[in-house]
C-alpha cells in the first residue's frame, strides 16, 4: 500500500505541490489504481524475448537548422510568460 | 438549394459543392448558424474561429478554379490538442490558457492544402486524460442524444460536434479509445489508424507510443475520406511509417471475424450490450462473414498494462509544462517552488494523478514490478494478436461495456472511469487500427442510447477494416 510519505516524495520528484489536507484523498485514489494495475504482476513470462525490456533511446534529427532562422521567434516569444527583449526570462537557478 | 445538414455527409456535400448547388460559404454559414443555436447547451466547442467564412471563401475559389478535392469546403471540428497557426490551443487545460499555435500540425496542413474549413476547437478531457470530457478545465460537454449524459472522451467535444450536426466530421486523438469510445456514446463512426499511419507532428503528446490522430464522422465512407486525407509519411514524426505500407491490399470475400469470447464473459459488461453485439455478428454472418471464437488469454491484462505505460509516458511528456516558455506561470520562492505551484494550479486532478502515477511506476524500486512488467505484458498481447491474425482477418468486440453514463457517475472512482476503455485499449497496446460503427440502441429513461460495434485488423490493413465496417454499418439492427 502506498503511504502519504510516498505521495510527498512523488510530488517532489514530479514538481507538483500537493497540499497537506489533500494528501489522504490523493493517496487513497492512487492506491486504488495501483491495486488494479498490479494485475500485470500475475503474468509470468519465460520467453527471453519477452523478458527482455529494451533500453529505450531517443530518435533525434540532425543537429542543423530545421527551419529558416528566426521565422518562429516572434510567435514563440508571444507565448512566453516572462521575457526580456528577445530572451525568455527564467528564475535564478544557482 | 436549401442545405439540410441533418442529411449531409462529406461525400454528398462534396458533390453538391462540385455541382454548384451551394457554395462553401453557404455550407459554413449553415453550420455556424447551427452552432449558434446548439453550442450554448452542448458545449462541443471551446471556441468557434472568427475566420470561418474567409476559409470558406478560399475553398470556393479553389472549387471555381478546378483545384477542389473531396475535402474542399468541408467544415470540420478540431480537437483542442492540435496546433493551428495563430489559433489558441490548450488541450482543455488551464496551464495552456492563451497558448497560440506557432505552426500547423501536419494533419491540419494536409487538410488546409485541400481547402477544408476549420470551424473551431473542440472540447476534450484535459490533456486527453479521461473517458467523459468531464476533466476539461473549461466546462462539460453534453451528449446531444441525452443531455443528462456524458459524450464520452477524451474526444467528447469532437464527437458531440459531429453528432449534434455542428460539424460534418472532426479530428480526434486516440491513446486508449479516445476517438472510438465517444463515437460509440454519440452514435457516430470513430476510427483509430495503425500506429505510424498518421503523423502526430503538432499534436500535444500524452503517451507517445500509443497516441494516434483519427477521424470522427457520420458514416464509414466519410471516415475513410478523412483518413485518406490525413495519412502519409512525415519526416517530422519519427514513428511515421512509409506510405508503401499503406498501399491498397486485396480484400477477399468471406472474411473471418474472430470474437474473444472468454474476454466478453467479464464482469461489468452490460447484458444489453452483449445481446446487441451478438445480433450484429448474426447479421454479418448473413452477409457472408465467417464468425469464429478466438482465444486471446492476455487481453484481460491490456487495461492494467495501459494504465502503467500511459501515465509513465505522460509523466515524462508533461514535464515540459513548467511555466517558463508558455502558459500559466505562478511565482514561488525559488525556481523549484515556481514549478510546483505552476503545475499544482495549472493541471487538474486527473492530470496530476497520472503524472504522480507515472512517476511512481518508473521510480527505482518499482519500475521492475510495474513499468517493465507492463512492457512484457504488451509484448505478450501483441504476440497474441499476431497469432490470432493468422487464423482470422478481423477481431470484433463491443466498443464499450455500457452505453453513455450520467454526469458524475464515475468521477469519484478513477478505476471505474478507466474501465470504460476496456475494449478499446488493446488496439493501442498492439498498435492496431480499430473502428467503432453505430450498432443500434438501448432504451433508457425514454431515450434511445447508441451503442458501438468495434472491429480491429492487422497493422496497415485499413482498407479491409473500412470494407468490413461498411458492411457492419449498412446492416440495421
How confident is the model over A46-73, as a mean pLDDT? 80
pLDDT over threshold 90, residue A65? no
* Residues of chain A neighbouring B200 (CB-CB closer than 8 A): none
Which residues 14-43 of chain A have a CB within 8 Å of chain B? 14-19, 26, 29-30, 32-34, 36-43
Question: Which residues share a beta bridge with B435?
Answer: B191, B455
Identify whether the C-beta of residue B76 lies closer than 8 Å to the C-beta of residue B121: no
Q: CA-CA distance, B276 to B467, in Å (whole number)?
A: 21
CB contact under 8 A, A11 and B356: yes
Q: How far is B8 from chain A (nearest CA, A)?
A: 38
A28-55: pLDDT as tens digits = 999 999 999 999 999 887 777 777 777 7
A and B: number of Cβ contacts within 8 A: 138
CA Rg, chain B, in Å? 21
Q: Which residues in chain A have their CB less than 8 angstroms from residue B387's CB?
A: none
pLDDT tens digits for range B415-467: 999 999 999 999 999 999 999 999 999 999 899 999 999 999 999 999 999 99
pLDDT tens digit sequence for B103-162: 999 999 999 999 999 999 999 999 999 999 999 999 999 999 999 999 999 999 999 999
> In terms of DSSP bridges, do strands B394-398 and B256-259 run parallel, antiparallel, or are they unpaired?
parallel
Question: Which residues does chain B have with pLDDT short of 70?
Answer: 247-251, 475-477
Give A12-34 pLDDT, tens digit per residue.
999 999 999 999 999 999 999 99
Q: Which residues of B are catalytic?
A: 79, 154, 178
Q: Where are the domains of chain A?
A: 4-42
pLDDT on residue B249: 61
pLDDT for the residue A11: 98
pLDDT at A67 over 90: no
Three cell numbers at B28?
459554413
A15 with B372: Cβ contact below 8 A: no
> What digits encode the pLDDT tens for the residues B277-304?
999 999 999 999 999 999 999 999 999 9
> For B54, phi and psi rounded to 5 degrees?
-65, -45
Quick check: A79 pLDDT over 80? yes
Q: What is the per-residue pLDDT for B475?
A: 66
| CA angle (B182, B93, B350) in 5-degree steps | 70
Closest CA to A93 of B335, B351, B243: B335
Do A39 and B365 contact (CB within 8 A), yes or no?
no
Q: Any CB–CB contact under 8 A between A56 and chain B?
A: no
DSSP code of residue B143? B
pLDDT score of B358:
98
Report the pLDDT value the prediction gives residue B156, as an integer from 0 to 100. 98
**All domains of chain B, ordered by start, with CATH?**
10-246 (3.90.1300.10)
User: Can you give the pLDDT at residue B477?
Assistant: 42
End-to-end CA distance of chain B: 33
Q: How many other CB atoms sit within 10 Å of the CB of residue B37?
A: 13
Amino acid at each position: 500500500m502506498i503511504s502519504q510519505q510516498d505521495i510527498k516524495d512523488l510530488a517532489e520528484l514530479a514538481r507538483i505541490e500537493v497540499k497537506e489536507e489533500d494528501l489522504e484523498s490523493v493517496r487513497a485514489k492512487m492506491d486504488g489504481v495501483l491495486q488494479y494495475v498490479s494485475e500485470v504482476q500475475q503474468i509470468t513470462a519465460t520467453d527471453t524475448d519477452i523478458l527482455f525490456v529494451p533500453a529505450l533511446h531517443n530518435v533525434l534529427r540532425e543537429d542543423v537548422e530545421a527551419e529558416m532562422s528566426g521565422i518562429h521567434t516572434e510567435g514563440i516569444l508571444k507565448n512566453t510568460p516572462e521575457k526580456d527583449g528577445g530572451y525568455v526570462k527564467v528564475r535564478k537557478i544557482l | 438549394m436549401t442545405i439540410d445538414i441533418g442529411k449531409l455527409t462529406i461525400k454528398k456535400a462534396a458533390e453538391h459543392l462540385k455541382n454548384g448547388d451551394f457554395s462553401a460559404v453557404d455550407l459554413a454559414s449553415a453550420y455556424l448558424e447551427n452552432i449558434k443555436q446548439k453550442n450554448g447547451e452542448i458545449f462541443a466547442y471551446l471556441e468557434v474561429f472568427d475566420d470561418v467564412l474567409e476559409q470558406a471563401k478560399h475553398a470556393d475559389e479553389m472549387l471555381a478554379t478546378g483545384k477542389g478535392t473531396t475535402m474542399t469546403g468541408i467544415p470540420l471540428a478540431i480537437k483542442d490538442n492540435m496546433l493551428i497557426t495563430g489559433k489558441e490551443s490548450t488541450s482543455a487545460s488551464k496551464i495552456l490558457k492563451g497558448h497560440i499555435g506557432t505552426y500547423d500540425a501536419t494533419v491540419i496542413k494536409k487538410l488546409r492544402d485541400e481547402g477544408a474549413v476549420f470551424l473551431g476547437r473542440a472540447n476534450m478531457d484535459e490533456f486527453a486524460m479521461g473517458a467523459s470530457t468531464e476533466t476539461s478545465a473549461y466546462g462539460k460537454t453534453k451528449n446531444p442524444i441525452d443531455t443528462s449524459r456524458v459524450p464520452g472522451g477524451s474526444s467528447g467535444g469532437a464527437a458531440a460536434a459531429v453528432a449534434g450536426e455542428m460539424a460534418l466530421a472532426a479530428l480526434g486523438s486516440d491513446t486508449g479509445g479516445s476517438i472510438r469510445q465517444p463515437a460509440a456514446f454519440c452514435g457516430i463512426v470513430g476510427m483509430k489508424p495503425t500506429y505510424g499511419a498518421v503523423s502526430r507532428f503538432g499534436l500535444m503528446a500524452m503517451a507517445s507510443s500509443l497516441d494516434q490522430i483519427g477521424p470522427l464522422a457520420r458514416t464509414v465512407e466519410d471516415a475513410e475520406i478523412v483518413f485518406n486525407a490525413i495519412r502519409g509519411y512525415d519526416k517530422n514524426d519519427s514513428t511515421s511509417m512509409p506510405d508503401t505500407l499503406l498501399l491498397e491490399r486485396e480484400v477477399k470475400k468471406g472474411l473471418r471475424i474472430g470474437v474473444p469470447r472468454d474476454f466478453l464473459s467479464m464482469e461489468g459488461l452490460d447484458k444489453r450490450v452483449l445481446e446487441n453485439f451478438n445480433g450484429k455478428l448474426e447479421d454479418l454472418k448473413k452477409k457472408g462473414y465467417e464468425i469464429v471464437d478466438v482465444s486471446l488469454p492476455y487481453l484481460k491484462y491490456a487495461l492494467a498494462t495501459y494504465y502503467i505505460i500511459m501515465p509513465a509516458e505522460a509523466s515524462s511528456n508533461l514535464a515540459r509544462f513548467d511555466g517558463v516558455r508558455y502558459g500559466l506561470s505562478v511565482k514561488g520562492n525559488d525556481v523549484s517552488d515556481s514549478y510546483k505551484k505552476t503545475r499544482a494550479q495549472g493541471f487538474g486532478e486527473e492530470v496530476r494523478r497520472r503524472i504522480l502515477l507515472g512517476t511512481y511506476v518508473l521510480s527505482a524500486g518499482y519500475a521492475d514490478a510495474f513499468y517493465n512488467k507492463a512492457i512484457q505484458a504488451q509484448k505478450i498481447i501483441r504476440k497474441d494478436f499476431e497469432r490470432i491474425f493468422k487464423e482470422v482477418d478481423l477481431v470484433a468486440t463491443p466498443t464499450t461495456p455500457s452505453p453513455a453514463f450520467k454526469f458524475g457517475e464515475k468521477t469519484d472512482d478513477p478505476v471505474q472511469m478507466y474501465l470504460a476503455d476496456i475494449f478499446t485499449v488493446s488496439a493501442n497496446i498492439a498498435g492496431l487500427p480499430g473502428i467503432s460503427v453505430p450498432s443500434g440502441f438501448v432504451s433508457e429513461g425514454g431515450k434511445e442510447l447508441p451503442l458501438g460495434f468495434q472491429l480491429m485488423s492487422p497493422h496497415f490493413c485499413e482498407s479491409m477494416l473500412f470494407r468490413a465496417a461498411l458492411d457492419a454499418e449498412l446492416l440495421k439492427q
